[in-house]
Each structure stands twice: as C-alpha cells, then as structure tokens.
C-alpha cells in the first residue's frame, strides 16, 4: 500500500510530526448550576489537568505541544499554532490545520469565529494574501503566484462539493507524483480576500442552515477548506509548484450513544467514526516516530489529506475541550486521543469538586435500561480514603450509583485501551477467540445430534402413522421461546425441524426423553456464554481478533474499532446494528452463526 512519501518539491522521506495544541474554551454553564466547578484546568502553556474519574482526589495531567487556556484570544491561537506554517504554502509545500473535539467545545469558533472574533480560517486566508503580496513586491523573487480555493464536506464517507451544491459523491485520486486530486471538485481562483469571502460565506451559511433541518448534520460532517497557492517561474523553464493548505472543522467527537442519537444518526456516526478513528491512527502513526504503516487509505478524510498530513507537510491539530462536567467523558476521550503522555497526580485541584465526578451526562433510555435502574445519579460525596489502583472491576465501587455503571464501564474500558493498547496481551484475546469458537462448534455439534435424533423420531413416527393416518407430531404445546439456532443445510432440506417446536412431546404422546430437552437447555446456556465471549471480543479484540468473528471482514472490523473508540464498549450484541452496513438481517445471521 502506498505511503506518504516526499512531497512534490522532491524533499526527503522524512515524516513530520503533527503538532498538537489543546484549546480550553471558557466555562459556559455557570447560570445553570453555580455550585458546579470546571473539571479541567490549564497549568501552563503546555500542560493541563483533569479530575481523575477513578479517584476524585487525583488529577490526570497531560502534556501537549501547546495549551491555549480559556483567556486565549483568537489572535493568539492563530499566531502560535497556524501563522508559522503558512509561508511553506508559498514554497510548494502542503499543510493542514484541524479542529478536533466534541460538539460545543469550540471547533467552529476556533476555525471560523465570529465577525468580531474571526477564527483561524479568515486569518489564515488573509495572511496567505499578505504573503503573496509581499512576494509580488519583492524584487528578487522570480515567481508569479496565484491563489485558489475549494470547499468540501465529508458526510457519511461521501465527498461533497460545497461550492457546487447537489454535486455527487466525488472520487479521490492520486497522480504519479503522489499528489491527491479530486476530479470534478470546483476550484476557483481568488484575487483578494473579498473574493474568498464572497464564495465562502454563503457556502458556509448554506451548510449550517441545511444542518439545522437535517439533524445537525454539520456536527457529524467534516468541513474542509482547501487553499491552493500555485507559483510559476517567470523565466524559463517556467517551473510550477503547488502548495496546499487544508483547514478542517472536524465532525464532533462526542459519544453519539450517550447523547441519545438514534437510528440513522447512529449509522451516520459509524461513518464519522471511521474517518475520525482513522485520523487518530494516522496521527498516532506519524507521531510514533517509527516506520509503521500510516493507514491513510482507510477513510475518505485521511485519504484526502494524504499529501498534506505527515510526509513533508506541516500539520497542526487543535483539540477543543470544554470545562463543564457534562463534557467530562468527551473531554477525557478527546485528551486521550490527542495526548501521547499523561501522568496521574495525587492532588485534587479544587476541594469543592471532590464530589464524585458526576458525569451528569444525558443518558439514553437504552443506557438506563442497561444499567438496570431508573434512578438519578447519586451526587453523594466520595469518601476521602484513597483507593489503590486495581483492576477495572473494582473502580466502579468508587461510585455510588448503579445508574452510572455503563458510563463507568466504558470509562474503564477506554482508559484500559488508552493505557495499555501497546502491551495488551493479545494472546489472551486469541485464546478467548479460540475458546469461543470451540464452544460454538460444540453447540453446533449438539444441534446436529439433536436434529439427527429428531430425524430418527420423525421416521419412526412416519412408519407408525402410515397405518393410522394420525398427525405425525403433536404440535399443540407452546413453541420454544427462543429462535431456533441455525441448522445445517442437510437438516433444512429434510424439513423435519418444525416438530421439535412441539416441546417435550413425542409422537406417541409420551414425555420427551430428558436428554433431548436437556440438550436444548444446555444449548441455550452455551449460546449465552458464546454471546458473552463474542461481546468480550467486540470490546477488547484488536483488528485481527475481530476479523476472526464470522461475518466480520476488514471493513466491518475497522468500523467496529472506530465505533468502540468513540462510543465505548458494546453493551449488548445488538449495539452492532449501529455499525454501518450491519443490517438487521446480517446481524441476526451473525448472532446465529456466532
Ligand atoms: P463546536 O463547533 O465544537 O460544536 P462551537 O464553536 O459552536 O463548538 O462553540 C460552542 C459555543 O461556545 C458557541 O456559542 C461559541 O461561540 C462558544 N465558544 C467556543 N469557544 C469559545 C471561546 N474560546 N471563547 C468564547 N466562546 C466560545
Ligand atoms: Mg461546529
């Protein structure tokens, strides 16, 4: 698979890091609950800390390339994180700036801003024109510059042209120099900043207005502005170089399940997760400093950005976070996505917030049911005693309310994944897979044996009834409550399965032999165990483990990983139906064959 290599300027094969900045927006929920304190705060220009959900007497400290605190102005964000990379665009190099984070944390504010407080996009475009003008004025610069723009959106893994509404899904191609192209995408030359505004403002307004009607589509799509600077040598041989700048307002990274999105919206989130999840893998691979494969091709977003992220390109990710408790889980996820290192500090930053990290998240009905209780989260103060860090099962004892269990479980799983994804014992998962398969095999064998017995009984009954013309089986008793597991083709063809639904009665009216009935009960419990195992694999397995499951290919396995990364563990197998392409029919055959 092709990897990002040197840019078109013929640079070295060096892969550059993605610089990671975090921006904390000001506290905004003060009026709702004045007793609530922020759950996260900055320490200095590179470090911040967040209350540790596992022990409110501790905080978790994160280190980033840059930390922008609540008071940071739009100008400061631009000057520190974006302006320094812009001159490269004029030298035929590529760059990208992303805003990542949950909806409501300030991505659009950072990228777009307001009339009074313009964000990265207007400032960067203005600066590009300033730089070009300065070059044009310079006597010794032998190049002519031209600036152009494209504006697109990735929604449900489709690339849509925002400058040409109603355009179809556009293809992404790569030329022989490994430049990424989008044939059919509108590209307009700009002669000034006001040219840019004339195109960009209405397209953005259209997108936002449409989004309100279409279930906040904008928070689930990636908006991508491309500014291209082409420079041409004035004298022979009139060499030409192109520099691209991508400015991206990413889809919200929030947990869609927790915010109660349902149906189609969850399907959408599956696709968003694929791009966000792949972006995290790409950033990880680029920042790991080792020669690992960078999975650009695994999603539309990363494929599109392939020549502008890593390689010889200059990339900055601005992770936006919010200080309120209601964002706690999403903030924690976003920080873990962005951070390479963290440190647990035994020191709470505000005594008042020693109260249990409440995670006062809006919980979907589904989660309430999963937690087995409909009561409100208990805000009781946590005891001062410091619990030693143990395995995940004991962490929930720090919390007083069972209703938080599923959130807790997901936090535990998330943290486990984040902290130990490298040294995880893959062997144990493989063992689980093997064990699970063995049990499924046993189940299937039992089933076949059962069917053979049934066939035998059916034949006996036929022989007997041929003289009396009586119905073969007594089908009057209640059918079994569960769906019949998949039967072998052979048995299906024999069409003798139905009589088995007449529970416990034999053709001659006698009680069924115990063995047969027991066999069914046993099957059911084995099946339940298998389901548990599968759930375990879904929640802890790596790509290879997931592909070991029936009906799960490479794409689905990636979607599962992506979904899990953003939404946390699968609570029940049915959650799989939230994965793109996992229809009800497919799901039921997945459950049947295990
Ligand atoms: P997102 O795009 O991540 O969903 P928004 O940019 O729409 O979030 O921000 C949510 C709200 O917070 C908006 O009302 C926005 O004006 C405000 N906001 C975000 N960041 C800041 C900031 N740094 N300073 C002031 N207000 C902010
Ligand atoms: Mg937004």
Please give the sequence-ordered ranges of beta strands (E in DSSP) within 217-332, or none if there are none.
222-233, 240-249, 314-321
- In a domain, residue 109? The reply is yes
Please indicate if the annotation marks 372 as binding a ligand.
Answer: no
Please indicate if the annotation marks 103 as binding a ligand.
Answer: yes
Q: Is the pLDDT of residue 99 over 80?
A: yes
- In a domain, residue 408? The reply is no
- In a domain, residue 434? The reply is no
Question: Residue 39 belongs to a domain with what CATH number?
Answer: 3.40.850.10
Minimum mean pLDDT among 22-31, 47-56, 246-255, 494-503: which range? 494-503
Average pLDDT over residues 85-103: 95
4 CA distance to ligand 2 middle (Å): 29
The boundaries of the domain holding residue 144 are 2-354
Q: Is 515 exposed, middle or buried (0-12, 13-18, 19+ CB in 10 A)?
A: exposed
Q: Is 572 exposed, middle or buried (0-12, 13-18, 19+ CB in 10 A)?
A: exposed
- In a domain, residue 245? The reply is yes
Please indicate if the annotation marks 108 as binding a ligand.
Answer: yes
Q: Is the pLDDT of residue 339 over 70?
A: yes
Q: What is the number of the ligand closest to the CA of 68?
A: 1
Rounded (5°) CA angle 569-359-275: 45
**Where does the pLDDT of residue 126 fall: very low under 50, low under 70, confident under 90, or very high at 90 and above?**
very high
109 Cα nearest atom in ligand 1: 6
* pLDDT tens sequence across 164-209: 988 899 999 999 988 999 999 999 999 999 999 999 999 998 776 5
Neighbours of 543 (CB within 10 A): 13
- In a domain, residue 117? The reply is yes
Please indicate if the annotation marks 377 as binding a ligand.
Answer: no
Of 354, 375, 404, the residue at which a domain comes to its end is 354
Q: Pick the closest to residue 248 from 181, 292, 287, 300 (CA basis).
A: 300
Residue-averaged pLDDT of the chain: 71
Please give the model's pTM, rounded to 2 decimal places. 0.63
- In a domain, residue 502? The reply is no
Mutational test site, ligand 1, from 26, 28, 109, max ligand atoms within 8 Å of CB: 109
Task: Indicate whether residue 319 lines ligand 1 (CB < 6 A).
Answer: no
pLDDT at 380: 33
- Total domain count for the chain? 2
Is the C-alpha dihedral spanning 572, 575, 579, 583 positive or negative? positive
Neighbours of 30 (CB within 10 A): 11
Spatial neighbors of 246 by CB under 8 A, at least 6 apart, are 94, 95, 96, 97, 224, 225, 226, 304, 305, 308
Cα 305 to Cα 286: distance, rounded to the nearest angstrom: 13
Spatial neighbors of 390 by CB under 8 A, at least 6 apart, are none
Task: Indicate whether residue 314 lines ligand 1 (CB < 6 A).
Answer: no
> What Å distances lie between residue 37 and 51, 106, 447, CA to CA?
11, 19, 58
Distance of CA 329 to the CA centre of its chain: 14
Mutational test site, ligand 1, from 40, 67, 106, max ligand atoms within 8 Å of CB: 106
Task: Indicate whether residue 113 lines ligand 1 (CB < 6 A).
Answer: no
Q: Is the pLDDT of residue 71 over 90?
A: yes
60 CA distance to ligand 2 middle (Å): 27
99 CA distance to ligand 1 middle (Å): 12
101 Cα nearest atom in ligand 1: 3
- In a domain, residue 83? The reply is yes
- In a domain, residue 439? The reply is no
* pLDDT tens sequence across 373-391: 332 233 333 333 333 333 3
120 CA distance to ligand 2 middle (Å): 13
Task: Indicate whether residue 410 lines ligand 1 (CB < 6 A).
Answer: no
Of 332, 354, 376, the residue at which a domain comes to its end is 354
Of 336, 354, 372, the residue at which a domain comes to its end is 354
105 Cα nearest atom in ligand 1: 3
* pLDDT tens sequence across 267-312: 555 554 688 888 988 888 888 777 678 899 999 999 999 999 988 8
List beta partners, residue 150: 226
Question: Residue 550 belongs to a domain with what CATH number?
Answer: 1.10.150.280
320 Cα nearest atom in ligand 1: 3
């Amino acid at each position: 698979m092709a990897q990002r290599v040197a840019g078109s300027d013929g640079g070295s094969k060096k892969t550059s890091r993605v610089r990671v900045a975090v921006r904390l927006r000001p506290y905004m929920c003060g009026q709702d609950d004045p007793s609530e304190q922020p759950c996260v705060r900055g320490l200095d220009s590179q470090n911040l800390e967040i209350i540790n959900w596992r022990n409110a007497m501790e905080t978790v400290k994160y280190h980033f390339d840059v930390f922008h605190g609540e008071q940071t102005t739009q100008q400061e964000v631009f000057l520190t994180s974006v302006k320094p990379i812009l001159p490269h665009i004029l030298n035929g190099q590529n760059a990208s700036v992303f805003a990542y984070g949950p909806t409501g944390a300030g991505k659009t504010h950072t990228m777009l801003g307001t009339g009074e407080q313009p964000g990265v996009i207007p400032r960067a475009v203005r600066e590009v024109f300033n730089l070009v003008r300065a070059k044009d004025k310079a006597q010794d610069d032998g190049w002519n510059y031209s600036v152009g723009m494209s504006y697109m959106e990735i929604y449900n893994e489709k690339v849509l042209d925002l400058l040409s509404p109603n355009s179809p899904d556009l293809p992404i191609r790569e030329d022989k120099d490994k430049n990424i192209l989008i044939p059919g995408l509108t590209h307009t030359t700009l002669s000034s900043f006001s040219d840019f505004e004339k195109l960009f403002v209405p397209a953005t307004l259209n997108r936002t207005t449409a989004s309100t009607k279409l279930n906040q589509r904008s928070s689930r799509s990636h908006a991508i502005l491309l500014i291209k600077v082409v420079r041409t040598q004035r004298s022979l041989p009139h060499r030409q170089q192109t520099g691209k700048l991508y400015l991206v307002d990413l889809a919200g990274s929030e947990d869609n399940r927790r915010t109660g999105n349902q149906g189609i919206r969850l399907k959408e989130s599956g696709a968003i997760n694929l791009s966000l999840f792949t972006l995290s893998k790409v950033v990880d691979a680029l920042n790991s400093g080792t020669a690992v494969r960078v999975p650009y091709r695994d999603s539309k977003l990363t494929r599109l950005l392939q020549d502008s992220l890593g390689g010889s390109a200059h990339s900055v990710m601005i992770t936006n976070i919010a200080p309120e408790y209601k964002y706690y889980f999403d903030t924690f996820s976003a920080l873990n996505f962005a951070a390479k290192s963290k440190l647990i500090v035994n020191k709470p930053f505000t005594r008042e917030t020693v109260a249990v990290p409440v995670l006062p998240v809006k919980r979907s009905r589904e989660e309430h049911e999963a937690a087995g209780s409909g009561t409100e989260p208990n805000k009781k103060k946590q005891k001062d005693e410091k619990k030693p860090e143990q395995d995940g099962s004991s962490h929930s004892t720090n919390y007083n309310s069972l209703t938080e269990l599923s959130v807790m479980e997901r936090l535990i799983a998330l943290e486990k994944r984040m902290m130990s994804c490298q040294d995880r014992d893959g062997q144990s998962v493989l063992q689980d897979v093997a064990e699970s398969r063995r049990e499924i095999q046993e189940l299937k064998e039992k089933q076949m044996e059962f069917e053979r017995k049934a066939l035998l009984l059916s034949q006996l009954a036929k022989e007997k009834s041929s003289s009396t013309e009586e119905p073969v089986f007594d089908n009057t008793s209640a059918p079994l409550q569960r769906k019949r597991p998949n039967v072998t083709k052979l048995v299906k063809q024999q069409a003798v399965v139905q009589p088995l639904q007449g529970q416990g009665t034999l053709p001659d009216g006698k009680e069924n032999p115990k063995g047969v009935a027991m066999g069914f009960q046993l099957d059911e419990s084995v099946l339940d165990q298998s389901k548990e195992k599968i759930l375990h694999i879904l929640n802890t397995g790596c790509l290879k483990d997931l592909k070991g499951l029936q009906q799960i290919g490479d794409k689905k396995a990636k979607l599962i990983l992506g979904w899990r990364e953003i939404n946390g563990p699968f609570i029940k197998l049915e959650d799989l139906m939230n994965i793109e392409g996992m229809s009800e029919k497919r799901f039921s055959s997945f459950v049947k064959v295990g």
